Structure 1
Amino acid sequence: MRAIVTSPGSESSRGQIREILAVPGSPRTILFSALGRLPVAMTSIALLFYIQRSTGSFGDAGLVSGSALVGTAIGSVVQGRLVDRLGPTRTLATATGIYVSAAALAFLLVESGGVLPVLMVCAAVLGLAQPALGTASRAIWAHRLPAGPAREFAFTYEAISLETFFILGPALAAILASLEWAGTGLVVAVAMMSVGTVGFLTSPLVRTIPRSSQRGRPLLHIIAIPGMQTLILAVLGFGIIIGFVEVAVPAVANLAGVSAYGGILLGLWSLTSVVFGIAYARRPWPRSYAHRAPVLLIGFGVLVALVAFVQGGLVVFTIALMVSGLLITPQATLHSLIVEAVTTEDQAAEAFGWVLAAVTAGVAIGHLSAGQIVEDFGPSVALASTVIPAVVLGGIVALRRRTLRGG
């Protein structure tokens, strides 16, 4: 197991950053990798808004966006193994071609009033082919940086930046979807993902990544680690709650007659989380990962559920929603720290792939469930329902807390 690198503000961290940037071609590679990974969670939420504004149904929108997320969850694991086996260029170039084609078909289907089952299949293919840059990006540092603090710093950056993009991406997509044409968010997401991936793959640094020599490992070997099993349960609950909010909050804005405000609400929710997360990281509580994971998950679900009972109009709802998002970034950071604590160095890349798959699957469950609840019972019931996965999965994580070493 590995220790976490020093804090970003320290002199040693600045030295590690200089060492990373000294690798020829690394600034360009980092830039395009970030551009391609920012929309990692934008596609599904952009689809959600696009379908909802085109059909008027949150139920249909949740089914389509949920299908895309199921595809993404599967694709992140499959592409990660293919990158190891075939290399990033061949794998991600093929995935990008399929991704762009599926996106074009999705636009055609929505604009022509395509039937729901066909839209769901198209969305699933779109998610499945969404380029998984994370594995390839980590592989660069494993190959080009010697074992030590600089490599650990690069790995930590990859993990935390990906989780941050997973938080900020949906907010950006929601804001873009509030523009005159509801498909704007999806266009921007596809463009950023495609340009970022192509720029990343054409970097000379990427072409130096060798194929993995560890081809015989079973697909589920990471899941055999007890700590990873517990972490995946925590991440799944985290994703489910986010998925519920991403559907219920726009529905609240829609009922209030200001549908464009839904994207702004999600943006404020994410922004508050990031700001609080920076402060929380300086003095996290509980200190132990084993206790922090269930406390943060249950607390997150309770805070979101309480928003359903807020009275006083949209302004009060906005404030309550911002408060409910305080625990997002602390959990995202904790997930990365736990991966570092319960896996070895050669397991970490695949473990992060499973974390991404778990949170994506959770958001998919949230979209699929919340869309139907909003249609049948309203957004307040959907928000209140988040306490159920939080308490159930948080309780299981608490019972398995001894498997979470570190902290």
Structure 2
Amino acid sequence: MSHSARLADYRAALTTPGARGAVVAAIFARLPIAMIGLSLLLYVQRETGAFATAGLVSAGVLVGVALGSVVQGRLMDRLGPTRPLLVSSSAFVVLATISVLAVEAHAKTWVLVLLALGVGFSQPTVGSASRAMWPRLVPAGSVRQAAYAYEAISMEVFFILGPALAGVLLAAPWPGTGVVAGSACMALGSIWFALTPLQRGHKPDNSERTPDLLGALASPGMRTIAIAALGFGVTVGLVEVAVPAAATHAGSPSMSGLLLGLFSVSSVLFGVFYASHPWPRDLAKRLPVLLGAFSVLIALLAIPSTLLGLAGALLLAGTMITPQSTAHSATIEVVAPKGTVTEAFAWVITSVTFGLAGGQSLSGQLVDHVGVWASFLVSAGFGVVFAVVLWLRRGTIREYQRPSRNTGLVSATMVSGVVEVGTGLRTSARTKLE
């Protein structure tokens, strides 16, 4: 079922008793999310003079975030958010400090990459915990839809402000200022979030948890969302490298940040409208349709021959970013196994991160060997392929029902041969379910 959100619903969600402290703390924790990796990349490049080393360090942070998000999400579902966030925040501060000292000491590349991996892995996953708190705070309906839209819109704002702050702080007397400032803001915000009454008072009901080792991915619908997030990440990753390349080829490399900012600006503006008019109404069709529409708009980026035309195309394509993030959140609420909602949101972060890393790597090769236009078209092509896969899997978007362990059992009073037949049927049924 689909719900639309009005401006009054945003106000109702954000002023719900217990929400305000957690919301404000989450702002400080998530503001540097797009800032730390970029600041570290720029810092390493300034100190080593090598973009290759800086790129490897940045990739290390991305891989660490992708892996750490799921681990932290699973722990928060089991223990509540407070203890995991306090531990990860402490580890994050220590590893970020050691990384800065290693850069200053001009440590070997493998040491910097290993530390970057640790920084990403320990980075507090407040985003997942923040999104997972809304089902505990507000009832299903338009107010919860507004809460999810707020999460998606605020993340886009952070992706606008984060890189901008990283660029500004790079001009400070010491190039590591951005890394330290961003890390301090994230750690303090995460600790504040973890210690709010709402988070400290949350006691997970582990009796509802599925014992499946796959956790949230035990649900076919969750696997579909992970595919959607991966496809979204790949398409965006290809664009994020191609746009700066287009600006550089046009002789205006300084325009890169502004152009990518337009991508996010239209996402924020249209995101508010979309939350009040979600489409398609059928939730099962929403993931493939939105990714497919995004892909078509991405293909338009290959047409303009001027930066002004590219800016217009980016504004248009950006309208489909926040709707996808909102759709991921709304779908998780339906398909995630009970007791795994934080981990489920973490899988979205992980999938998007891996997609971004893959898309950026591929885009660099295409830009160097074929052309900027090729990156835009390949991005659109990947998006269409993923959209088709999602359309074929739309039937999995339904409430997850944990398979019964007693399926196929027969009465213990039956003869041995019948029991063996029943056991065989049970094994077959399990195979089909898996």
Per the TM superposition, whether the score is higher than 0.5 is yes
Q: Is the 8 A contact 1:173 1:185 kept in 2?
A: no
- CA distance in 1 between partners of 2:367 and 2:47 (Å): 17
Q: Which moved more, 1:182-191 or 1:32-41?
A: 182-191
Instruction: Give 1:296 shift.
Output: 1.9
Instruction: Give 1:102 shift.
Output: 2.7
Instruction: Give 1:360 shift.
Output: 2.0
Instruction: Give 1:319 shift.
Output: 1.8
Give unmatched runs, 5+ long, in structure 1.
none
Letter in 1 for 2:394: R
Instruction: Give 1:321 shift.
Output: 1.9
| Change over 3 Å in CA distance of 1:5–1:293 after alignment to 2 | closer
Deviations 1:242-276 (A, max 9, x none): 22222332333344444333222222210111112
Counterpart position of 2:404: none
Deviations 1:188-235 (A, max 9, x none): 432321120122234344332335534773341322222222221111
Q: Is the 8 A contact 1:45 1:170 kept in 2?
A: no
CA-based RMSD of the aligned residues comes to 3.3
Counterpart position of 1:309: 303
- CA distance in 2 between partners of 1:199 and 1:326 (Å): 33
Map 1:66-81 to 2 at 5 A: 66-81=59-74
- CA distance in 1 between partners of 2:113 and 2:283 (Å): 38
Give unmatched runs, 5+ long, in structure 2.
400-434
- CA distance in 2 between partners of 1:247 and 1:310 (Å): 17
- CA distance in 2 between partners of 1:262 and 1:246 (Å): 9
Q: Which moved more, 1:329-338 or 1:300-309?
A: 300-309
The TM-score with structure 1 as length reference comes to: 0.82
Larger radius of gyration: 2
Instruction: Give 1:398 shift.
Output: 1.5
Q: Which moved more, 1:229-238 or 1:349-358?
A: 349-358
Letter in 2 for 1:128: F
Q: Is the 8 A contact 2:333 2:341 kept in 1?
A: yes
| Change over 3 Å in CA distance of 1:36–1:17 after alignment to 2 | closer
| Change over 3 Å in CA distance of 1:329–1:142 after alignment to 2 | closer
Counterpart position of 1:281: 275
- CA distance in 2 between partners of 1:273 and 1:265 (Å): 13
Matched, 1:271 2:252: no
Q: Which moved more, 1:171-180 or 1:371-380?
A: 371-380
| Change over 3 Å in CA distance of 1:158–1:15 after alignment to 2 | closer
Map 1:4-403 to 2 at 5 A: 7-10=5-8, 18=15, 20-21=16-17, 23=18, 26-48=19-41, 50=43, 61-110=54-103, 114-137=107-130, 149=139, 156=145, 159-179=148-168, 180=171, 185-210=178-203, 212-214=205-207, 217-312=211-306, 314-343=307-336, 346-377=339-370, 379-403=372-396
Letter in 2 for 1:234: A
Q: Is the 8 A contact 2:299 2:377 kept in 1?
A: yes
Q: Is the 8 A contact 1:298 1:390 kept in 2?
A: yes
- CA distance in 1 between partners of 2:50 and 2:370 (Å): 13
